[in-house]
Structure 1
Amino acid sequence: MFSKNNSEPHHLNTSRDYLRKYLLKLYPRTIQSIILISFTLVSLVCMLFLGMSMYQRFEGRSRQMMTDNSLQMLASTTSSIEDYLRRMRRISDAMYYDVIKDMDFESEDLSSEMSLLYEANKDNLVSFALFASNGDLISAAPIALKKDNAQIPEQGWFSTAFASLENLHFSTPHVQNLFLDETDYRYHWVISLSRAVELNYGGKPRMGVLLVDMNYQTIQQMLESVNKTNSDQYVYLITSNGQLIYHPKAEQISLGIHNENFAQAAGYDDGVYEENFEGEKRIVVVDTVSYTGWKLVSVTPIKNFYLGMQSTRYFVILVAALTALAMIFMNQMVTMKVTQPLRKLNESIKKIEAGKTDSAIYIGGTSEVEHLGKTLQRSLDEINRLMKDIVIEQEEKRKSELDALQSQINPHFLYNTLDSIVWMIEGEHYEEAVFMITQLASLFRVSLSKGRTIIPIEDELRHAENYMNIQKIRFKNAFTVDYDIAPEIKECLTVKLIVQPLLENAIYYGVKNMDEDGEITVRGYKEENDIFIEVIDNGYGIPSEKLPYILTEDKRASKNGSGVGLINVHKRIQLRFGEEYGLKIESEPDEGTKVTIHLPAIPATEENRERLEKGGAYA
């Protein structure tokens, strides 16, 4: 028994080892078998999702088309209603501004003019009427007799007109019951347009109300024509607070047979909504009518959308199944075609890894493998090129910064300034001489900046202001300088000596020789994470043929006499902060020039300054 028990574990271990070896043999180890199996499984899964996605996409597209149709139809209908209301406003304006404003009611009668305007627009109107502030009828067309029991001041359109004197007011549909009409015994459904008007009685103003009763049937016919052409949906019109103006089932609603979601629709902004009303899902599209705040609402039951979708489901399933079979067949061919180029590509990469940087990447096989080979080759070439460019860029940066340091003290400027100081002392203009010396000392203090090339914008602007103070005295205030600097940019960092060269250009090439007073403006502001400093002058401007070459090495643009120079400033900014920053020049001949400095907003901390001084572009 003891030996038998020992043999059972040995038998189990042998079986497990055999099973493990068998499974290892079945496990695909070649790239071809791995791709074939993987592609097949992925293809089947993809086809499943593809079928579902196709169906959902078709469903979404169909719903979108239905929504777009509703939006277009609603926009067209809203436009028609707005055009009609606009005509009514124009009629009211014509009566008020062209007739009532120019009439003295103490000695003149309005009836003829009102009748003429009514006859010209009677297809869309029911009546015109003008009332005094106490409700007395002044004039009306075509009916002139007011009912004895018509309480005009209690009418909603009358009180609303006086509640907001400057506006025109549209009422909800109602039966016109103000006048006696012996020739027509019909009841007229109207929408009243009322406004408060000023009446002239012998030079004394009095208030009144101008009433224009529009024919409600005009709007009703517009909406009925829309509802007839769209059997799957309907449109209704309500006020901004949910009062009904038009509904195709207005009678059923009044009798309680049919319900509508007026309150919620009135709260919707313009757009598309899905709602569940009385157990029915539906799409609601809302558009607001100008002048009135009325809301035109389109309602489409979602059940209409699903009609005919069953055949689409069968079609999607058939297409997915056929595509899956085709992809399984294609996977076999693709794996054979892809395997060999991948091996060659792998071997060429191993050579590069071994240090043979002069070796070429294999390019061939399928388009994907060929593209991968070309991409790797381009990357290798780009790495080699960038290594060379880094060396060149560092050399250019050192040269540019050296040029900037060498140009910090312009000998010509210094000579002229000292000469001006001597002249002032000889002329006993001591206060001006002291001011010049103080400004010159401050200018040199910022220029030196303890050898730093990165300084706060506040210091850079102080340096520019010192420079301009000196120049204004030298040129005997031949120009003015205005500063408009946002306080938040002063505590940010900048490359040193970038504003003064722009001001120097503005003086010598802009306003120096002007017959009239020159104006120079320095404006600084921040937008999001960027800082902009503008130097604007009203000088002669830059010729259009030279403007595109100012910031290039092209010899067609003159760059002499500008201190550090615009191109130097532009390159120094880009070397320090990146290609997206630098200068932008806008100029019109005889109009002036605007040069904009574009910098990143970098807080003026010592850590940031040291990073920029040592490491180049700010990260």
Structure 2
Amino acid sequence: MKKWIEQINQWKLDKKMQVLVTTAIIVMTLIILAVSTISSVTSMKEKSIELLQTNNDTMSENYASSLEQYKALAIAIVMDDTVQSYLHCTSKRDPSYTGYANNAVNTMTSCQNMYPDMNFIGIVSYQMDDYLYKGIEALTSSDFQQVYAQDYQQCGEVRDGTIRIGFSNKYYRGDRYTLSVYFPIYDLNTIMMERGLLCMNFTNPVLEQILEDKSGTGRQTAVIQTDGTIIADHDLDSIGETVSYKEKMVGSEGEFSWEGRLYIYQKVSDWNYYIVSSIENMELYAPSVRTIIIMTAILFFMVILSFFVIKGIISRVYRPLDQTVQKMDEVAAGCLESRLNVASMGEDFQKLATGFNSMMEEILVLMEQVKMEQHQIEQIRFNSLQSQIQPHFLYNTLECIHWQAMADGNKEISTLVMALAKYYRICLSKGHDVISLGLEIEHIKNYLIIQNMRYDNIIGSEFQVDDTCKDAMVPKLTLQPLVENSIYHGIKVKEGRKGSVFLKAVRKENTVLITLEDTGSGMTQSQIDAMNQQLSEYDESFGYGVRNVNKRIELLYGKDYGLYYLRNEFGGVTVEIQLPYTTKVDEGILKGDMINV
């Protein structure tokens, strides 16, 4: 495999393109063929299933209708007074026997006239061991006397535990298959006293249609009991046998595949029967085979033709590209003055040639620019080194003022200058953006000293900082903008112009929670909610310093950390700053011992 890939890598581009395009055409052809085949087969299968389902629905409705009529007829007969009177006779010698028997026969004749598909009807009397018979053929033709008792015992109950239905060729000496309906006749005046048996025999059109189906199309229909026994099938030898797929028939309807055939089944209403239609799987695909063969031949011819056409086109297209590759090889060898002849490239590749020549000109210009920018970068680095010296001049000047004030006995100026020096030293922090919490709090203390001297000590302060979190790293100038907000927007605008700020810092596992409270004029809850919502959004009406603090925390530690404002019990505003506890950053960290001037 590796050797084969190496050989492909050695091919020229035109050969690779030929193979790629040809492969793409073959793949697309196979995909089209596969999609067409699947679509055709699926469509034929759906149509066949729909046809079989329609056939099942029709036969199920017709068969259920026939059975319901047979049952209704049976109930009407067993409750008929003439039949009940006949069955109450205990002997043929009874004076009333002949009259009752004739009346019952008349009822049977009426029933036969109402149902043209009825072959015969018989009423058996258990008390007299006698029966009445009325049929379209003679008694000897149907063999009623010899068959009914055995056939009744072999028929299973198909509904309500009373009616029994069988389909066999036991009557008429095996010459034809008929449907037999048996219904026990009970005494209407005595509970559970069975006096006789009603026997009816029909030529059912639904079952006859199944028996006469000799179309040879591969489609078959059968009537099967829910226990799997075949009631009616075009294969007469299979009637009475049990199907091997009976476990597949679950519910009122469905479909399944079994031994190369697709089966569709439909339950016959409330009766213990299924109408089952099936078709061979190959019969489903047969109409699609011819179409697939024709499509395969056409696609194969198109692939062969496309191969030769593509080969010729790529060969012509590749010539200007080959010239471009040669010029690029010259450039790679160091000849930056190499150019393409635009006129000889042809209309399609003139833009490529023009672009190549322009690119080479730009490269020469960019090389000069890179040289100039490199010189400028070196100059910037030099200026940066010089700028590091300037803060020392500021510190030294402030220190001189401090000592001069001390010499003159002016402690206030000395304190102010000392606090200012510490303030700016922490602000600069030798270029560091992250400092320790202890150093940040020291910065706030110096800031409060300066502000109190400016505003006649109107600001009180209290600090409660756990030793366990003093070395936690925080973005520089995190607390100063928040304290400034408390002073200018809370304490100074308050009536009496005096107030206090309370700063508390505690460590909770891997988190540092800093709480800054003031006793200023406070804010409404709607103002607090608006402030919390605007912390991470740009809004010119919202304080830049606060938003800057929150944004720097989010950029450094993620959006799980930052500021959150709420009202406090003093009537002022409380801001909570949540930070991760960490003592290391990518750059060096200033420690608290560096604050001394």
TM-score where L is the length of structure 1: 0.37
Larger radius of gyration: 2
TM-score where L is the length of structure 2: 0.38
